[in-house]
Amino acid sequence: MRYTHLGRTGLLVPRLCLGTMNFGPQTEEADAYAIMDAALEAGLTFFDTANVYGGWGDKPERHAGWTEEIIGRWFALGGGRREKVVLATKFYNPMSNPLDGPNDVRGNSAYKMRRAVEDSLGRLRTDHIELYQMHHVDPHAPWDEIWDAYQDLIAAGKVVYAGASNFGGRHICWAQEAARQRHFLGLVSEQHQYSLLKRQPELEVLPAALAEGLGVIPWSPLAAGLLGGHALDGKGGERSSSAAKTLSDSARSALERFHQLAAEAGESPANLALAWTLANPAVTAPIIGPRTVEQLTESLRVPEIELSTDLLAALDEVFPGPGTPGTGADPASQTATAPWAYSW
């Protein structure tokens, strides 16, 4: 496994991040344990989760916090599991339905952050979180409030680094300027949706992250499975199969050409799509969400894949970047209207 620094920090993380959103709802607990054990054995020590994971859907056993609980029970097995993992989790969304009081709403208030971190620590059966991320922007919480709360948690040893998710470039810059004014490190990472089918972050988010020293952690780098290789043949997962039904003829043609490029390169479509994200200098590690150990094993060689200039150019032709002449992209709005674009 290859490693790199997370943004401008001294923390080393692998070039892949293990996403755990499937743990519980789609991946049985025993299978989740096997995936995490295999990840550790391979040196994939960067795990990402969120306090709300496990709480979506109509299964009666589903509840917010389920995924964190599974990870916590795995940590409790010992064997150095917790010590080897760089753990990232997120907060922002409501955790109860009905709401547990008026402050159990969406947001990044100091009140919510302090409650959320204690709850996550309990579910995860740990005393600290390496990367504590705001899941979304909160326009109602001023940066003085947010940074006060983060600095208290860091001073108490409960959090090591602050991260963001789904922030715009301007939000990154505002956050970092407020942090600089108090001589605080501020954000070290931005978790953002980024893939060959979702290139709008190249307009604003990725340049801002590079300028401010944040590592970018792409989520959905396979575009909900559309880039995974089986969406067009109906053998993919529920999300990719559903998304594939909405594709236009031009989008389907682009994916078919993408599969052809992957075959010519001797790579699976999924690995090619992941390697493409890693080719961007702003990217630290894309999030992979394997449902089986076999899927995990297949992804482990991605950091070793070197994409040629010709292949990168061919991918740009199939999936033009935002602002490319003729795509109809509007840099001011970050909205791509190219015929292949799939907004998700």
To the query of whether residue 33 is one of the catalytic residues in this protein, the response is no
Question: Which residue type, as a one-letter code, is found at position 89?
Answer: T
Q: Distances from the Cα of 140 to the Cαs of 90, 109, 136, 144, 145, in angstroms? A: 18, 8, 12, 12, 10
Whether 226 and 240 have beta carbons less than 8 Å apart is answered as yes
Whether 91 and 132 have beta carbons less than 8 Å apart is answered as yes
Whether 191 and 219 have beta carbons less than 8 Å apart is answered as yes
Q: Which of 33, 53, 150, 161 is catalytic?
A: 53
Catalytic annotation, residues? 53
